[in-house]
């Protein structure tokens, strides 16, 4: 089973704004940045993620822009994967918004695959107020193609005896893993549909695309895919970055943005149950040159203030005086499980400190929205230096 959220970032950003559901909206795309995500009305007008914001606005005058809420993205993603984990232990994370699930062992407990898929769709809609599409098939490849065909907000099941009937009418561009250059190469061979691909002799494909890839194309045309659902490698880092609306050399503005990025990273660490051993910052100057610096934390942490203090020290070591900065980023690295890691307390530490405060903020944010409780320094504008 392949489960994929529908326009995830846009859907999360618009969960509580139903008046915008049917109008073109992009997430992000402020000033000089790029479009982080677009809802389906915007996509139908030619807007796509990664497009420069200025181009998107020229393409669709009056386009509505909403700011990204990274804490909400992280919280909703965690909730989605908690739903997956309640279905089966065999979950392979594809990204923040999609996963492969092997539900073979859950059939006796939860019913046939289509019923499980509809249960997942209903639970995601009820608990997270967004929609998802589900593809079900005998292999990962077929399930992935099926979920694409199910979009948006649908379910497609392909039984083993229907694989060829499902795949062969499709254009080769619909196959997972076939990009523009491969599609163009196939077109030069007169291959436009999956049925055309299935009829092409394997040696011809291997001659055109190489032994390994040519053989893979021949197998995929019939839905053959020997890969199993496997638990993905554990994440070893998490980060956040932001591009300024206007390049700045003001250290107060830069340090305030480092605080905002540190808060995002700390929240993501707590959500994932991890602590960071190392913190790194990245600074991109107005000439697009980029430098990074990192340091080992005094003790593994998921506390905003502790991460920010190290970020500020790293920034202070850079010879940035007078240099205008375009973008800053913060990343927590060498992540370790929070429950299995001892944090050395200081004699001056209170019984309850900032970690408990931020856990309470997380709980309030989960119940009332990510902006329910915020640091004052991130709400009021930063005063220019001097």
pLDDT digits (tens, 9 = 90+) for 255-307: 999 999 999 899 888 888 889 989 999 898 888 788 888 888 888 889 999 99
Find out whether 114 and 120 touch, Cβ atoms under 8 Å.
no
Ligand-binding site membership of 4 (annotated): yes
pLDDT digits (tens, 9 = 90+) for 114-131: 999 999 999 999 988 999
- Angle at alpha carbon of residue 234, lines to 231 and 240, rounded to 5°: 130
Grade residue 334 by pLDDT with cuts at 50, 70 and 90. confident
Q: How many Cα atoms occupy the beta-carbon half-sphere of 328 within 13 Å?
A: 30
Q: Is 246 helix (H, G, I), strand (E, B) or coil?
A: strand
Q: Does 182 score more than 80 pLDDT? A: yes
Contacts (Cβ under 8 Å, ≥6 apart) of 124: 5, 80, 83, 130, 131, 132
Cis omega (within 30 of 0) for bond into 152: yes
Token reading at 319: 């010879």
Q: Does 167 score more than 60 pLDDT? A: yes
Q: What are the chain's domains? A: 1-134 (3.30.70.270), 168-220 (1.10.150.20), 237-378 (3.30.1490.100)
pLDDT: is 238 or 113 the higher one? 113
pLDDT at residue 89, as a whole number: 84
Helix axes 70-87, 113-128, angle to 10 degrees: 150
pLDDT at residue 352, as a whole number: 55
Count helices and strands in the chain by DSSP H and E runs: 15, 12
Token reading at 163: 């694989």
Q: Does 136 score more than 80 pLDDT? A: yes
How far, in Å, CA of 287 to CA of 281, rounded?
18
Find out whether 314 and 231 touch, Cβ atoms under 8 Å.
no
Beta bridge partners, 248, equal 325
Lowest mean pLDDT of 91-100, 149-158, 195-204, 343-352, name the range.
Answer: 343-352
**Angular region, 179: left φ>0, alpha ψ -120 to 50, beta rest:** beta
Instruction: Give the percent of the chain with pLDDT over 90.
Output: 46
Grade residue 380 by pLDDT with cuts at 50, 70 and 90. low
pLDDT at residue 235, as a whole number: 57
pLDDT digits (tens, 9 = 90+) for 201-234: 999 999 999 999 899 999 999 999 888 887 755 5
pLDDT digits (tens, 9 = 90+) for 97-111: 999 999 998 898 899
How far, in Å, are 72, 165, 249, 363 from residue 16 at the CA level? Answer: 12, 41, 37, 19
- What is the average per-residue pLDDT within 52-69? 89
What percent of the chain is helix, strand and coil (3-state, nearest 5)?
45, 20, 35
Instruction: Give the percent of the chain with pLDDT over 70.
Output: 89
Grade residue 342 by pLDDT with cuts at 50, 70 and 90. very low
Find out whether 56 and 63 touch, Cβ atoms under 8 Å.
yes
Helix (H) or strand (E) holding 299: strand 290-301
How far, in Å, CA of 273 to CA of 338, rounded?
5
How far, in Å, CA of 278 to CA of 276, rounded?
6
How far, in Å, CA of 104 to CA of 113, rounded?
8
Where do we find the tokens 């305030």?
Answer: 256
pLDDT at residue 319, as a whole number: 72
Query: Where in the sequence numbering do the catalytic residues fall?
Result: 98
Contacts (Cβ under 8 Å, ≥6 apart) of 356: none
Strands 98-101 and 2-5: antiparallel
């Amino acid at each position: 089973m392949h489960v994929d959220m529908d326009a995830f970032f846009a859907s999360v950003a618009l969960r509580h704004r139903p008046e915008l559901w049917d109008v073109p909206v992009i997430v992000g795309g402020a000033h000089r940045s790029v479009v982080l995500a677009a809802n389906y009305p915007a996509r139908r007008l030619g807007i796509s993620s990664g497009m420069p914001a200025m181009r998107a606005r020229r393409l669709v005058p009056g386009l509505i822009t909403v700011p990204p809420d990274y804490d909400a993205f992280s919280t909703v993603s965690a909730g989605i994967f908690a739903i997956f984990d309640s279905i089966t232990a065999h979950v392979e994370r594809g990204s923040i918004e999609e996963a492969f699930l092997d539900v073979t062992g859950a059939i006796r407990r939860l019913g046939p695959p289509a019923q499980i898929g509809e249960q997942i769709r209903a639970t995601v809609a009820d608990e997270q107020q967004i929609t998802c599409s589900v593809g079900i098939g005998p292999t990962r490849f077929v399930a992935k193609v099926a979920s694409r065909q199910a979009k948006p907000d649908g379910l497609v099941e392909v039984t083993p005896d229907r694989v060829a009937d499902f795949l062969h009418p499709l254009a080769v561009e619909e196959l997972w893993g076939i990009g523009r250059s491969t599609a163009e190469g196939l077109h030069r061979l007169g291959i436009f549909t999956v049925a055309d691909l299935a009829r092409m002799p394997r040696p011809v494909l291997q001659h055109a695309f190489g032994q390994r890839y040519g053989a893979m194309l021949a197998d995929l045309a019939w839905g053959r895919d020997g890969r199993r659902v496997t638990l993905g490698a554990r994440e070893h880092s998490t980060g956040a970055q932001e591009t300024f609306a206007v390049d700045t050399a003001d250290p107060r503005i830069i340090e305030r943005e480092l605080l905002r990025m540190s808060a995002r990273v700390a929240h993501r660490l707590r959500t994932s149950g991890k602590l960071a051993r190392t913190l790194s910052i990245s600074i991109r100057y107005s000439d697009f040159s980029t430098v990074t610096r990192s340091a080992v934390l005094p003790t593994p942490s998921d506390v905003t203030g502790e991460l920010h203090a190290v970020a500020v020290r790293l920034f202070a070591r850079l010879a940035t005086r007078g240099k205008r900065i375009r973008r800053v980023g913060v990343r927590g690295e060498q992540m370790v499980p929070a429950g299995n890691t001892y944090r050395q307390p200081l004699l001056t530490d209170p019984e309850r400190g900032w970690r408990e405060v931020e856990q309470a903020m997380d709980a309030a944010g989960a119940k009332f929205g990510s902006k329910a409780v915020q640091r004052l320094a991130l709400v009021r504008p930063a005063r220019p230096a001097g």
